[in-house]
Amino acid sequence: MTETEIPQAELRERAGELRLHGLLAHWGEVFAQPEQARWVTQLLEWEAAERARRSLERRLRGARIGRFKPLADFDWDWPKQCDRTALEDLMTLEFMKDAGNVVLVGPNGVGKTMCAANIGYQAVLAGHTVLFTTAGQMLSDLAALDSDSTLRRRLRQYAAPDLLLIDEV
């Protein structure tokens, strides 16, 4: 076995994660022939990569983060009150493990929205679901609902993501 070859047990596990039950049913036949085994290995790698890419795109669209300035382009010299260490700590997403809340407070124009968008983007990259909305959008959306059951369903939609970012509170 070369360094680039993946053990059959790991490949079988990948096929199971991808729900390729037909392939799993004929596993012995496929891996009895080395050429087919190489082809299936490549196919599994392509499929896993494509599904990961599509999942990321779907989560990014669903997050509704929009365009934002990357944290790498942030001017740390202004505003002076911005705690860079605290923000970098937030980017590790440790607060999500404890289901903690984060509130960014400051005057207009200091980068609260940009920081929230970067945290949301980092969470999407880490595999979490995110929803970015403004308080006004969320409240007008909820106020427009006319029945209790619709309101409960919509509240579940707001509570469903792993991370809910509410801007302009």
Which residue is associated with the tokens 């929205």?
A: 113
Question: Percent of the chain at pLDDT above 90?
Answer: 75
| Closest residue by Cα to residue 163 from 120, 121, 126 | 120
Q: Which of 122, 123, 92, 102 is nearest to 167 (CA)?
A: 102
Residues 6+ apart with CB under 8 A from 16: 24
Side chain identity at residue 137, one-letter code: Q
What does the pLDDT look like over 39-73, one tens digit per residue? 999 999 999 999 999 999 999 999 999 999 898 88
Q: Give the pLDDT of residue 113.
A: 93
In this prediction, residue 4 carries a pLDDT of: 56
Check: pTM over 0.85? Answer yes or no.
Answer: no
* Tokens representing residue 108 in the block: 């207009």
Q: Would residue 66 be called left, alpha or beta, if left means φ above 0 and alpha means ψ between -120 and 50 degrees?
A: left
Whether residue 65 contacts residue 128, with contact meaning beta carbons closer than 8 Å, is answered with: no
